[in-house]
Structure 1
Amino acid sequence: MQPDPRTNLSNQLADTLKNRTVEPDDKREITITFRVSYAEKARLEQRCNGVVKSDYIRARLFDYPLPHPKLTIPEANRQAVYELKKIGNNLNQQTKAINEAVKIGSQPLTSNVKEYLQTIKELTALLEQTHASLSQPISDED
């Protein structure tokens, strides 16, 4: 039984594209502007789905691989994530300072210090969970 010619062609094309290296121009200095209808604009935005329009068009036009979509995080969540990162940095600084003080002997490792370090560890884990939850992209159904 001979393989289907379409399958062979498809496999050859896939191998060629897989092994091809794309080297886009380093410096893009030329701007191209063109008009589209409202329907075309809506269709383009739907197809881009989180990918920058110029990157999407360039990828489709020049057979570059499609870039991964960027996460769209609501503005309120972005502000909350920013604040959570600041809190996380403060907790990390406190942990580092306590561990350093214990290491050099200026702070004994008492049960209170161990309990405080455990609380910081739990808070850090909670911050990471909250950060991950707030960083979820906006779904298309919203």
Structure 2
Amino acid sequence: MTQPDPRTALSNQLADVLSNHSVQPEVKREITVTFRVSSDEKARLEQRCIGVVQSDYIRARLFDYSLPRSKSIIPEINRQVIYELKKIGNNLNQQTKAINEAVKVGYQPLSNEAKEYLQTLKELAEILEQTHRQLTQTIE
């Protein structure tokens, strides 16, 4: 079984952390349903759905799912920082994976320098994770 691309894996991991795990069950939804509402009804719906995807809210109310959690509103500056952190994290994961793969196939003995580099990468990954947690905690 092949490992997913590190960039994709990290991106998915960050997306999971940032995303709101909405209503259940997780199924592929292929059919679109539309309906008309008055302006007052639209205003009430928008008020109730602040920070929540409207379709998730409506689905929860119609089908007795648990109501989705309100998503955190992330300031633009934090979104930019998170984007940059994702890019750095992707690069770190790619480098770590390359070193580990090289060691597995025997191309490169794991020298002290490489071991120190791997440790530095792990420490940077932890710092990125902590920074991400701090950015999202200040929002809630």
**Which of the five TM-score ranges fits, normalised by the shorter chain?**
0.5 to 0.7
User: CA, structure 1 residues 54+35, in 2 after alignment: closer, same or farther (shift >3 Å)?
Assistant: farther
User: CA, structure 1 residues 59+93, in 2 after alignment: closer, same or farther (shift >3 Å)?
Assistant: closer
Number of positions where the alignment pairs a residue of Structure 1 with one of Structure 2: 112
Aligned counterpart, 1:30: 34
What residue ranges of structure 1 are gaps of 5+ in the alignment?
1-20
Aligned counterpart, 1:64: 64
SS at match of 1:135: helix
SS at match of 1:108: coil
User: CA, structure 1 residues 44+29, in 2 after alignment: closer, same or farther (shift >3 Å)?
Assistant: closer
- Measured against aligned partners, the alpha-carbon deviations of 1:73-119 in whole angstroms (never above 9, x if no partner) come to 11221121121111111111111111222223322211111111100
The letter of the residue matching 1:108 is P
Q: TM-score, normalised by structure 2?
A: 0.61
Distance in 2 (alpha carbons) for counterparts of 1:105 and 1:26: 48
User: CA, structure 1 residues 44+82, in 2 after alignment: closer, same or farther (shift >3 Å)?
Assistant: closer
Runs of 4 or more consecutive aligned structure 1 residues displaced over 6 Å after TM superposition? none
Q: TM-score, normalised by structure 1?
A: 0.61
SS at match of 2:137: coil
Aligned counterpart, 1:100: 101
The letter of the residue matching 2:33 is E
SS at match of 1:79: helix
- Measured against aligned partners, the alpha-carbon deviations of 1:39-98 in whole angstroms (never above 9, x if no partner) come to x948962x44422346445655x4633222223211221121121111111111111111
1:109 aligns to 2:113 (yes or no)? no
The letter of the residue matching 1:109 is L
Distance in 1 (alpha carbons) for counterparts of 2:38 and 2:138: 30
Instruction: Choose between structure 1 and 2 for higher RCO, CA contacts under 8 A separated by at least 6 residues.
Output: 2
SS at match of 1:103: helix
Q: CA RMSD, aligned part only? A: 3.1
Distance in 2 (alpha carbons) for counterparts of 1:29 and 1:35: 19
Percent of paired sites with the same residue: 57
8 Å Cα contact 1:51-1:70 kept in structure 2:
yes
